[in-house]
Amino acid sequence: MDISQVTPREAYELLEQNPTAIYLDVRTEAEFEAGHPAGARNVPVVFFDPGARQPLPNPEFVATVKRHLASTTPLVVGCQSGGRSQHACELLVQAGYTDVVNVHGGFGGARDQTGRVVPGWAAAGLPVEQGQPPGRSHADLKSR
């Protein structure tokens, strides 16, 4: 599946240019709380099971997104480096979302195909906030 890829800086510019665009952070609640792009909403695509020591899919991921965001909403989807968010983008496109981009480099950074480091959102000096903002945290979104 061909999903458009953007750097964190390009993601920021997309969000600035389009006030209807939403940054969807698909990292865990703990990762989100520690720091996330300002204005982001959090719906984890996976949960980490300490007993199994592996990620488990969030069975409510698509349903939670659908309850809050129309399928035509421009979505900028990010995680820590771009892998989980790529998977989330694929799930969203399969569910009928039409304007989805993946943030390669995510919040923490990644390497491109040539091995060059793509700085993450935080390292790029883009706006960051911490905590679980009301109405944008996973706890709030899953309960409504």
Residue 27 has pLDDT above 80, yes or no: yes
Q: Which residue has the higher pLDDT, 143 or 94?
A: 94
pLDDT of residue 37: 98
Q: Report d(CA 144, CA 139) in Å as an integer.
A: 9
pTM of the model as a whole: 0.94
For 47-83, write each residue's pLDDT tens digit. 987 787 888 999 999 999 999 999 999 999 999 999 9
Walk me through the domains of the chain, giving residue ranges and CATH numbers. 4-143 (3.40.250.10)
Q: Is 79 a catalytic residue?
A: yes
Q: Which of 15, 43, 62, 79 is catalytic?
A: 79
Task: Tell me how far apart the alpha carbons of residues 8 and 108 are, in angstroms, rounded to a whole number.
Answer: 10
